[in-house]
A and B are shown apart, each in its own frame.
Chain A
Amino acid sequence: MTVRRSDGQPAGTSLFEYLLRLGDDRLVLGHRTSEWCGHGPILEEDIALANISLDLLGHATMFLKLAGQVEGEGRDEDALAYWRDERGFRNAQMLELPKGDFAFTIVRLFLYSVYSHFLLERLSSSSNTELADIAAKSAKETRYHVRHAAEWVVRLGYGTEESHHRAQDALDELWPWTGEFFQADNIDREAGVDLAEIRESWEKLVREQLSRATLEVPDGPMRMTGGRKGRHTEHLGHMLAEMQIVARSHPGAKW
């Protein structure tokens, strides 16, 4: 028998949805970052981005596995990654945008990793110990991602005229998408997360580093959102087609 809450939702639904958000952010960005494998500007950076993708996929695996357990319908992390369609994904829209040039990839990784860092630190003390354990494990590796991206942001912004304008273009394009990270609803609140507080820490650190990089934070409105509810840009469907094709063509295949 399914336990129902007063609003008629099964008890685990809110947590399940929340875990999908955590898992899908990391799965989608991990996949996008992995697209650099074999295409990095220099060998060391190719390896670095591949390592970061691997970490993100590892984090996604842990969160989605737990999501499947919480849901209790027999779906494991692979079922959730490969057999949901675009509308079933709960990632923030910024993370599904095509990888762009190197500056775009780095600025996105920076803006996201700092957010992820503060969120995971907060979740490390969640009253749900399984969630807290995974968050603490992921937080450790996320520190590396923050550092790596933050160093590159300065190198690009404070580098040549070309690298500066590419980094500035990337920031102009990406900044309005960051609003979605902090758009809170009941599902965030039930997970015990205060996104306003996280936004404050995020913005402070991000603005400091961008200023070191001589990059200017654009003014202007935030973009439309909806990723947390399954509404996505045209790009996610294409990405999923590529990511899911092998698993769907050969269901249950082992390699």
Chain B
Amino acid sequence: MTGGRADGRTGGLLASIPEAIARVLDSVKDPEVPVLSVVELGVVRSAEVEGDRVTVTITPTYSGCPALHVMEREIRDALTAAGYSDVVVNTVFAPAWTTDWIPAPAREKLRVYGIAPPGPVGAEPLIPLGPTVRTVTCPYCGSSNTTRESEFGPTACKSLHVCHSCQQPFEHFKAF
């Protein structure tokens, strides 16, 4: 439980988070993808303790994501419940959030949960000429015989796909 550093990389973190704070933040989940903590998701950028004050810096996934406000409140509530009386949550926009910050073990959690995890973010042309849809592996049966139904899913971060091997529709956490 070292807050997003399980794979040895820093993920989206700017610096390592103090152990006690990391434990609390690991308990705060993305309300729409409840298998990932706000640290694993890369929303938490840093957390610092100075005297009685804890300052947590977060960044939005997608700009309009309504879950951000919920995450902000839950971070504050969780730290307050853990005994930190002075909690400040700041929002920054740069560098812009990317799914590349989600560490490998968290990607596996997504797959087990039934959401195909994002691949690495690649350079795509602004307007692709012809089909350039990446192959997304079905999180249920592992088949790559899948097609994208819609680039926009039930939340901003996901697209909709269908697997032709197990006939199962599924969501994909878009590389972004």
- Which of A51-59, A89-97, A100-108, A160-168 binds B? A51-59
Q: How far is the CA of A144 from the CA of B152 in the complex (A)?
A: 10
Please state if A58 and B62 are interface contacts (CB–CB under 8 Å). yes
Q: How far is the CA of A138 from the CA of B153 in the complex (A)?
A: 19
Please state if B150 and A47 are interface contacts (CB–CB under 8 Å). yes
Q: How large is the interface on A (under 10, 10 to 19, 20 to 34, 35 or more residues)?
A: 20 to 34
Q: How far is the CA of A117 from the CA of B156 in the complex (A)?
A: 19
A117-168 contacts to B (CB < 8 Å): 117, 129, 132-134, 136-138, 140-141, 143-144, 146-148, 150-151
Please state if B176 and A44 are interface contacts (CB–CB under 8 Å). no
Report whether over half of chain B's contact residues are helix, strand or loop; otherwise say mixed: loop
Q: Which residues of A contact B1 (CB under 8 A)?
A: none
Size of the chain B interface, CB-CB below 8 angstroms: 24
Please state if B156 and A55 are interface contacts (CB–CB under 8 Å). yes
Report if A241 contacts B (CB, 8 A). Answer: no
Report if A205 contacts B (CB, 8 A). Answer: yes
Report if A61 contacts B (CB, 8 A). Answer: yes
The 7 sampled A-B contact pairs (Cβ below 8 Å) are A47-B153, A48-B150, A51-B156, A58-B60, A138-B63, A144-B151, A209-B127
Interface residue ranges, B against A (CB under 8 Å):
60, 62-66, 92-97, 126-128, 149-154, 156, 160, 176
Interface residue ranges, A against B (CB under 8 Å):
44, 47-48, 50-59, 61-62, 117, 129, 132-134, 136-138, 140-141, 143-144, 146-148, 150-151, 205, 209
